[in-house]
């Protein structure tokens, strides 16, 4: 399984650096930028350059914003190529969960379902947690 990080500006490059700081290097992790003046065609070219030079043809493209240009470019490719899944919501917990998953269990069809624990365990509200803690202490 290969992973491409993509988003507006340099967010994907910086996210890759953060992932490597925490978990080390991944040979199957790529990041591309989306600069002002670029469009969907240039993004698709960047995706295809990575996809076409990879031996492993399974790809999950993780983008920053649902329905933003990086997402839309990846979605168009996913409609044409069956070996691509596109997930929005680029974050460290999401990336670390996918990268550290058992690759034999991840496939294009179930990649999103693999993230259930990320959705439940890593998106937290301090106020909600502290409110619940106060209620428990009052009991």
Structure token pair of residue 70? 């990086």
Phi and psi dihedrals of 68, rounded to 5?
-80, 170
- Known active-site residue 8: yes
Q: Strands, DSSP E only, in the chain?
A: 2-6, 29-32, 59-63, 84-88
- Which of these is catalytic: 1, 2, 3, 8? 8
Q: End-to-end distance of the chain based on CA atoms, in angstroms? A: 48
Instruction: Kindly calculate the radius of gyration of the chain based on its CA atoms and give it in whole angstroms.
Output: 17
Return all residues near 15 (Cβ < 8 A) that are at least 6 apart.
Answer: 5, 7, 31, 90, 92, 95
What is the total residue count of the chain?
139
Cite the active site residues: 8
């Amino acid at each position: 399984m290969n992973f491409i990080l993509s988003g507006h500006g340099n967010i994907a490059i910086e996210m890759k650096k953060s992932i490597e700081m925490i978990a080390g290097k991944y040979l199957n992790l790529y990041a591309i930028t989306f600069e002002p003046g670029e469009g969907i065609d240039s993004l698709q070219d960047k995706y295809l350059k990575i996809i076409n030079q990879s031996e492993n043809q399974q790809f999950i493209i993780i983008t920053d914003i649902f329905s933003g240009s990086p997402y839309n470019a990846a979605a168009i490719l996913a409609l044409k190529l069956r070996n691509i899944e596109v997930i929005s919501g680029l974050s460290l917990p999401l990336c670390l969960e996918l990268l550290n998953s058992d690759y034999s269990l991840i496939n294009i069809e179930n990649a999103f379902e693999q993230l259930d624990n990320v959705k439940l365990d890593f998106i937290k509200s301090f106020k909600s947690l502290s409110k619940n803690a106060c209620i428990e202490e009052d009991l």
